Amino acid sequence: DVKVTQSSRYLVKRTGEKVFLECVQDMDHENMFWYRQDPGLGLRLIYFSYDVKMKEKGDIPEGYSVSREKKERFSLILESASTNQTSMYLCATTESKVPYEQYFGPGTRLTVT
């Protein structure tokens, strides 16, 4: 079974803090994704990576950056957290071959006060 873990289930940070969310997968998948999920808006793609040190912007990259130094680890960075970044953050992985089934981590609920 694919296992995708996220560093924290719940996180509370203050406005202006730098925040790191980490995602680790154990299945040697090439592609990794970060989403945020908000009520009524569904999942919105922030960034994705299809190889080590590669990254691509998703639909809402503003205010975020990412790092992928190792194949199994994909980090999401909030350089200066703001209250509008309070959300559920979900990491997912997939192989680079069809049908691209995505496997999700349990999520991190981030609150910025």
Partner 1 sequence: AQSVTQPDIHITVSEGASLELRCNYSYGATPYLFWYVQSPGQGLQLLLKYFSGDTLVQGIKGFEAEFKRSQSSFNLRKPSVHWSDAAEYFCAVGARGSQGNLIFGKGTKLSVKP
> Which residues lie near partner 1 (CB under 8 A)?
4, 30-31, 33, 40-43, 45, 48, 50, 56, 90, 92, 94-96, 98-107, 109
Q: Residue 16 Cβ, how far from partner 1 at the closest point, in Å?
A: 27
Nearest Cα residue to 51 out of 36, 35, 66: 66
Q: Which is nearer to partner 1, 80 or 86 (CB)?
A: 86
Nearest Cα residue to 33 out of 12, 64, 9: 64
Q: Which is nearer to partner 1, 89 or 112 (CB)?
A: 89
String of b and e for 69-80 (b: at least 16 CB within 10 Å)?
A: eeebebbbebee
Q: Which is nearer to partner 1, 85 or 93 (CB)?
A: 93
